Amino acid sequence: MNAHSNIAVIDLDDTDLTAANQSLQSKNGTEQNAHMRVVNPRGSHALAVGIDAPVDIEIDGNTGYFCAGMNKAARITVKGNAGQAVAENMMSGEVRVTGDASQAAGATAHGGLLVIEGNAGSRCGISLKGADIVVGGDIGHMSCFMAQAGRVVVLGDAGDALGDSLYETRIYVRGKVKSLGADCVEKEMRDEHRGELAELLQTAGFGDADPKEFRRYGSARNLYNFNIDNVGAY
């Protein structure tokens, strides 16, 4: 690791992944701000995981599985594409991917903001527990499966079975939805929803998008309790 212009630079051509993560986690448990940069990530898995401090981390290149997993308070930017389960189980902070993300982006995330400027693969926001996810492109099939809380915004299209077995996550889609999953229905778009959507779009860097072009989807609440009449949907 070397320092340049007050930015700590970690080069994965010279540093192994364990040592790199230890350096990135060096401010954990403190309120210290720091600016770190990772170069030559070359698709490394589990990079920048378990960060628990208000630090800025830039990753210059593509990452593998579980990048920025369990993030808390940090602001992490992947300047490239991210593999499976980016920002998995995130608690707070912000994770941004300037390219595309593979499947299960934001899985089980409890809080914070995940922004994917490109497309996201299947199961985006699976079992979401309170975070916000904003996707600039399309999302794949089975996205928001069993999503419990939080909000998901899609500026492009959504694949098959959107929101299957959904709980209380709010889903906003500007483009086409190929099909809705079990118990997911289109809902009325009221002023309160347009207001929160406008705020989310602005925060995520998509302030030019018009909230009036989006539709809202949510749970019909028919699967909350077992009902013999709905047995075929379980």
Of 74, 137, 59, 58, the residue nearest 105 (C-alpha): 137
Q: What is the mean pLDDT of residues 108-119?
A: 98
Per-residue confidence (pLDDT) for residue 234, from 0 to 100:
56
Per-residue confidence (pLDDT) for residue 7, from 0 to 100:
86
Q: What is the mean pLDDT of residues 102-116?
A: 98
Q: Is the pLDDT of residue 230 over 70?
A: no
Q: What is the mean pLDDT of residues 43-63?
A: 97
* Distance of alpha carbon 39 from alpha carbon 138, whole angstroms: 28
Per-residue confidence (pLDDT) for residue 227, from 0 to 100:
66
Amino acid at 41: P
Amino acid at 146: M
Q: What is the mean pLDDT of residues 188-206?
A: 97
Q: What is the mean pLDDT of residues 76-88?
A: 98
Q: What is the mean pLDDT of residues 184-201?
A: 97
Contact at 8 Å (CB) between 174 and 197?
A: no
Per-residue confidence (pLDDT) for residue 197, from 0 to 100:
98
* Distance of alpha carbon 86 from alpha carbon 183, whole angstroms: 27
Total-model pTM: 0.93
Q: What is the mean pLDDT of residues 12-29?
A: 95
What mean pLDDT is reported for the chain? Answer: 94
The pLDDT tens digits for 138-177 are 999 999 999 999 999 999 999 999 999 999 999 999 999 9
